[in-house]
Amino acid sequence: MALTYPQAVRIMANASPGRVFVALRDLLAEQAWQARLWIADYRQTALRSLDDVDGEHEHIQVSDSWQGRVFASGRAQAPAGEDGHIIGLPVSHRGNRLGVLQVSSEHSLTDADLADLAEVAGALGHEITLAAELSDRYEQARRARPLTVAAEMQWALLPATAHTEDRYAIAGLLEPAYSIAGDAFDWVCEPDHLMVAVCDGNNRGVPAAMATTLAMTALRNGRRAGVPLAEQASLADQALFAHYSGSSFVAALLMRLDLATGRLSVVDAGSPQLLRVRGGQIRLIELDAQLPLGMFEETLYREQVVDLSAGDRLVVVSDGVHAAPAGAPFGDAALAAALSSSRLLSAQETVRHIVAALREHHHGAELDDDAVVMCLDWNGTAE
């Protein structure tokens, strides 16, 4: 019996969380297809096999493997010169790329086979996203090395690293991925608006992660209570000051995008910078500088509106990016060069490209300061 999409979905949905891919792999084997799943690591520079040998996950680099080209492009591809016996398919969920499903066969894969496998790879992304809430197997596969406790806190705080809809695409990335401590991002995607927060906590290690976690939780609390953007900032400011009395604070940039009108409201509470790429031109958006969250008691914040047009790209970077030293600060010219060279890339590839340029700016050394990069592509209203 030929593979069917409902059959694959049913098999994965009924499998235990840690065996979702195993169930699919066994089903594909019935078609005489061999399957392998590559999971992107936290840094999104390597793909790691879900099948571990003696606790070690085989890994390949995104930059120099054909499977990496599948991951970076988000499109099904085969190795160069391959005669149709092997294919790599992107595994993603709502635009968040998780890895690559590699399928091979002794017989050539037909167009119908490839269409079925593409649907199955999409279903696999959905099932892994759900299963990862109940099993550590997928998180363990992502780890090229152990995370610090602070990094564990920060990554657990985040939403997905990317999300795509018809009207927009959004993506974010943290560096140093395995020891990040104070920087984070958050977003919530509602039918009529998109809400975004980028935070940069002072201090280092666990204290920075704890302050950022408190700030992000307070922002979510205000957001879910339905209060305006500026009031969300004030609530987070009060929560931080009540706990730290000003000794620890969090710089933040808050945004609310109205999906019906394209109106973008912004609250600037600290150091994250907002840049706009429009028609190939890069502009730093000048915002009303306001105090970081938690620095003083009962600070009042105000919103401002930023001009936004269909086709605009917004990029938010923390001071670990725009003020990064190593000779001239990264924000002087290197950031503009990275933005320019990534203008045709997707939002998720853009944040990967900027972070890679930042690491190159540091000559591959571990960053001294946490860095967050977030990209929002606005495609325009439904009309």
Say which CATH number the domain at 175 has.
3.60.40.10
Number of structural domains in the chain: 2
CA distances from 229 to 88, 172, 263, 300 (A): 43, 21, 13, 11
Per-state percent for the chain, helix, strand, coil, to nearest 5: 35, 30, 35
Last residue of a domain, one of 108, 141, 174: 141
Among candidate residues 273, 363, 276, 274, the one with its CA nearest the CA of residue 320? 273
Reading the block at residue 138, the tokens are 């997928």
Place of tokens 């500026």: 230
Distance CA 348, CA 368 (A): 24
Is the alpha carbon torsion for 71, 77, 79, 84 positive or negative? positive
Distance CA 240, CA 139 (A): 30
**Same domain, yes or no: 70 and 129:** yes
Element (H, E) at 350: helix 347-361
Number of helices (H), then strands (E), belonging to the chain: the values are 11, 16
Listing from the earlier edge strand, what are the strands of the sheet with 250-258? 183-189, 193-201, 250-258, 264-269, 304-306
- Whether 304 is in a domain gets the answer yes
Do residues 253 and 272 lie in contact, with contact meaning Cβ atoms separated by under 8 Å?
yes
- Whether 383 is in a domain gets the answer no
| pLDDT digit string (tens) for the chain, length 383 residues | 467 788 999 999 999 999 999 999 999 999 899 999 999 999 999 999 997 645 567 999 999 999 999 999 999 999 987 778 999 999 999 999 999 999 999 888 899 999 999 999 999 999 999 999 999 999 999 999 999 999 999 999 999 999 999 999 999 999 999 999 999 999 999 999 999 999 999 888 999 999 999 999 999 999 999 999 999 999 999 999 999 999 999 999 999 999 999 999 999 999 789 999 999 899 999 999 899 999 999 899 999 999 899 999 999 999 888 876 666 778 778 899 999 999 999 999 999 999 999 999 888 888 878 999 999 999 997 65
Distance CA 17, CA 15 (A): 6
CB atoms within 10 A of CB 109: 18
**Same domain, yes or no: 218 and 243:** yes
**Same domain, yes or no: 103 and 57:** yes
**Same domain, yes or no: 233 and 364:** yes
Among candidate residues 128, 132, 101, the one with its CA nearest the CA of residue 114? 101
In sequence order, the 6+-apart residues with CB closer than 8 A to the CB of 166 are: 379, 382
Q: What pLDDT score does 1 carry? A: 46
Domain range for 58: 5-141
- Whether 351 is in a domain gets the answer yes
CB atoms within 10 A of CB 83: 7
In sequence order, the 6+-apart residues with CB closer than 8 A to the CB of 355 are: 43, 173, 175, 371, 373
**Same domain, yes or no: 188 and 118:** no
Place of tokens 């680099």: 61
Report which DSSP code applies to 3. Answer: -
Would you call 55 helix, strand, or coil by DSSP?
coil
Is the alpha carbon torsion for 327, 330, 335, 338 positive or negative? positive
Q: What pLDDT score does 312 carry? A: 97
159 upstream amide cis, omega within 30 of 0: no
**Same domain, yes or no: 107 and 171:** no
Q: What is the CATH number of the domain that holds 68?
A: 3.30.450.40
State pTM to two decimals: 0.94
Reading the block at residue 340, the tokens are 């320019």
**Same domain, yes or no: 158 and 134:** no
Strands 193-201 and 168-175: unpaired
Reading the block at residue 14, the tokens are 């009924």
Gyration radius of the chain over CA positions: 22
Do residues 124 and 101 lie in contact, with contact meaning Cβ atoms separated by under 8 Å?
yes
Do residues 101 and 35 lie in contact, with contact meaning Cβ atoms separated by under 8 Å?
yes
**Same domain, yes or no: 199 and 172:** yes
- Whether 132 is in a domain gets the answer yes
Q: What pLDDT score does 162 carry? A: 98
Reading the block at residue 122, the tokens are 């999409």
Largest CA distance in the chain: 69
**Same domain, yes or no: 120 and 210:** no
**Same domain, yes or no: 271 and 197:** yes
**Same domain, yes or no: 158 and 129:** no
Last residue of a domain, one of 141, 164, 196: 141
- Whether 313 is in a domain gets the answer yes
- Whether 317 is in a domain gets the answer yes
Q: What pLDDT score does 55 carry? A: 57
Last residue of a domain, one of 109, 141, 173: 141
**Same domain, yes or no: 121 and 172:** no
